[in-house]
Amino acid sequence: MTTTIQFPISRIEGHAKVVVDIDEGKVRNARFLAQEYRGFEQFLQGMPADQMPVIVPRVCGVCSTSHHIAAVEALEHAYGITPPPVAEEIRHLMMVGQLVQNQATSLFFFTLPDKLQATSIFGADEKIGHDMLGSISKMAMAVRKIGTELISVAGGQFIHPVKAVVGGVVSGIDPTAAKAMRAKIKEALPLACSLFDEYWQLTRKMERSVGKWEDNDPFYYMVAVDKNDPTRPVDHVTMQKSDGSETITFRPRQYKEFLQFHRVQDSYSSKTSFNDLPIRANSLARMNLAESTGTPIADGYLERFRVEFGSPAHQILLFDLCRGIELINGLERADRILAKNLYDGEMNVPVVPRDGCGFGLVEAPRGPLIHHYQIENGLIVRAEFVIPTVHNNFSIERALTSMAKRYVHEDRIDMGLDRAMGWVVRAFDPCIACATH
Amino acid sequence: MRFAVLQLTGCAGCEVSLLNAGEELDLAKLAYMPLVVTAHDVPGVDVLLVTGGIRTDEDLLKLRESASRVKKIIAVGTCAISGGVAGLGDRHDIRELFLANTHQGRVPRMLPKCRPIDTEVKVDNYLPGCPPVPSLFVQLLNEPESLKSTSIVCKECGRRKPKDVRPTTLAHEIHKDADPELCLVKQGQLCVGTSTRNGCGAICPRAGFPCVGCRGPSNNLIEKDANAWFSSLIKVFAHMTDIDSQEISEALKSPHLALFLFQFSDYSDTELESRPKEKVL
Ligand code: SF4
Ligand code: SF4
Ligand code: SF4
């Protein structure tokens, strides 16, 4: 007889649940199912291509910046346009702001409560004393806000940014605003480090009480960033086998030749595989494949990480620690970008729209994101979104299945199963609005 | 005052904006918001903020259940007010394509149309914006009486509108901000800040990008139908520029504008009356 247990998952972006199928006291499998859908790929058909940078950020309010920029890049690719370098810097700053915002949200608002047995960061305040800003939730909010302020400075507004346009950006960053922002980063950096140190200790403590979450069967890591600056996007996707034995790269326009897409019964999200194996994108992939973060404090954390956990490190729990390293790296990187001249010179080049097809690739916080548009008479006839969470789905389910086995026995199911399913999902920080779009 | 946030089908941007107001709010009073709080159901609270539109049967069920337990309901964001971006799929050809794509497994069933929440429950207030900026959430939750929009985005933008500058064509794809002091309409851009309610601080035009009207119409238009709203905008452009009104009228029908401009007027196939302006924040 098959028993099915369902768990709705909170503290992630969007609506999803985990379903565990149990046969005669044995876990058959655990599934991660997306429960919402809006249909962007359908309703964008027939819309003016030049409006994509305004409409598609609404795919997701958490990682809207990635969609905003991927849209602009896909159109530039279709029109054959290269934006001026200063515009690229400002877009990069927007993405770094988003990385800071996202990693702070995931670390402190989504997963920290698990490590303190609280239902939310606001509830965690009572469990942990702090004297700096009064409470851990206030500290976390202050650090997270640096990310959103960076997006605002570079993108005009932080939820659905507007400043990236085909050909460049609408305006530069005023030196006074840049200076003020750098001062805020300087203030936030030690705060972020002390929060992260605390988080690191709590992760170790959790590891001691629940054990390692290993998954040593083969899979592929997936990234689209520079090895020496993992905040900087590159023009190709890299797939590396978990044992390091194989590395393959492809261009965004080749994604269908390299990735296999699987539709899923009972879910509005599909799943992708590579060479018939699961894929892992997101922080752990970037940190494992990086030679250096390119900034000193984050490099210190990366070194410590490698000493403590090895390199490459595959434990599921380590996605979170890598997010912390990236949070610090993002703050340091943003400071360096803001030190440049982001004000003088041409912010955009002339644009002559044309029909055809374009691909945009960015590294979103959750991994490589591709937008693909086909344009006829200035209108979208086909829009495709290749979403990082979709790449992680097989890995999420494999990790869920192995975790569930610890809690399900012939004669009983341990109480903690509900909580443990949430831990595993949150380690991957999935985004359901993006995955289903 | 205890409050909760019910997330229906949306993008979570409204919740993220609320989170950004966190330093000025007492979030220990936040009893339910799946994005950041683990709790099974909407508890009895004083105020329920609803984000997102009614897209699935599950959205509908959750909304009805929660409504019975709360004192006051506030529709937050374009999605909750008009269906929002998911409502762009409510064109006949697209609806068929869309429904053909929603599969038959055990997933929440798609309703034929993404609906505003006031088609189902009584709404006490509307807070428009995509999303409403954090300061609006602070006002909404800390001093709701102070939250009255009486003006337009231009007032918060402050760009100059010299009478003798009159562009003759629309600068379509090109969003250049050649003069950061000069009104974008005067630069030939389709900025609708002239008729959009204030409250956001004019963040888009201040950064050099035209306002797309996400806060919805200002008070003197809000109770009128889409046509009145439409012709008023055309009049504004005729007053400020020499651009052919046919060109303006075509451009105003763009999906990215229509989505927001008409968020209060699309009642064509419902029994509902337009929303009274006193309720719109
Ligand atoms: S109103 Fe805008 S920000 Fe809010 S949920 Fe809808 S799309 Fe997202
Ligand atoms: S740019 Fe837009 S918001 Fe600013 S004054 Fe002109 S019309 Fe008004
Ligand atoms: S300027 Fe216009 S589009 Fe931008 S946030 Fe304000 S109302 Fe919305």
Q: CB neighbours (10 Å) of residue B269?
A: 7
Given CATH 3.40.50.700, say whether it is the number of domain B3-146.
yes
Cβ within 8 Å, pair A39-B98? yes
Q: B215 CB under 6 A from ligand 2?
A: no
Q: How far is the CA of B70 from the centre of ligand 3 (A)?
A: 30
Cβ within 8 Å, pair B204-A157? yes
A322 has binding-site annotation? no
- Tell me the pLDDT of chain A averaged across its residues: 94
Q: Residue A431: which residues within 8 A CB-CB, separation 6 or more?
A: A12, A13, A14, A60, A62, A63, A366, A387, A388, A389
Omega cis (within 30) before B180? no
User: Which of A322-326, B46-50, B79-83 comes out lowest in average pLDDT?
Assistant: B79-83
- Quick check: helix, strand or coil at residue B61? helix
Q: In Å, how far are A105, A414, B268 from B280, measured between CA atoms?
A: 31, 50, 20
Q: CB neighbours (10 Å) of residue B21?
A: 21
The ligand 2 atom nearest the CA atom of B183? 6
- Tell me the pLDDT of chain B averaged across its residues: 89
Cβ within 8 Å, pair B97-A433? no
Going by CA atoms, what residue is nearest to atom 2 of ligand 3?
Answer: B211
| H helical segments located in A238-292 | 255-258, 283-289
Rounded CA-CA distance A194/B176 in Å is 42
Question: Confidence class of residue B103 from pLDDT cuts 50, 70 and 90?
Answer: low
Domains of chain A (ranges, CATH numbers): 53-392 (1.10.645.10)
* Contact status, residue A169 vs residue A90, Cβ threshold 8 Å: yes
Give start-end residues of each CATH 3.40.50.700 domain in chain B: 3-146
A437 has binding-site annotation? yes
User: Which of A210-214, A238-242, B245-249 comes out lowest in average pLDDT?
Assistant: A210-214
A41 has binding-site annotation? yes
pLDDT in tens, A383-392: 999 999 999 9
CA A418 to chain CA centroid, nearest Å: 24
pLDDT in tens, A300-322: 999 999 999 999 999 998 999 99
Burial string for B169-202 (b: 16+ CB within 10 Å, else e) reads ebbbbbbbbeeeeebbbbbbbbbbbbbbbbbbeb
Six token digits for residue A230: 């993992």
Q: B131 CB under 6 A from ligand 1?
A: yes
**Is residue A131 pLDDT above 70, yes or no?**
no
* Contact status, residue A379 vs residue A46, Cβ threshold 8 Å: yes
Q: How far is the CA of B12 from the centre of ligand 1 (A)?
A: 6
Query: Among the ranges A284-293, B78-87, B221-230, B254-263, which has the highest mean pLDDT value?
Result: A284-293
* Contact status, residue A289 vs residue A326, Cβ threshold 8 Å: no
The minimum CA-CA distance between B22 and chain A, rounded to whole Å, is: 7
What pLDDT is attached to residue A374?
98
Bridge partners of A34, per DSSP, are A16
The ligand 3 atom nearest the CA atom of B214? 8
The minimum CA-CA distance between B54 and chain A, rounded to whole Å, is: 11
Scanning B157-186 for CB atoms below 8 A from A yields: 172-177, 180
pLDDT in tens, A331-357: 999 999 999 999 998 999 999 999 999
Q: Which amino acid is at A141?
A: M
Rounded CA-CA distance A150/A152 in Å is 5
Question: Confidence class of residue B272 from pLDDT cuts 50, 70 and 90?
Answer: low
Cβ within 8 Å, pair A422-B38? yes
Cβ within 8 Å, pair A47-B255? yes
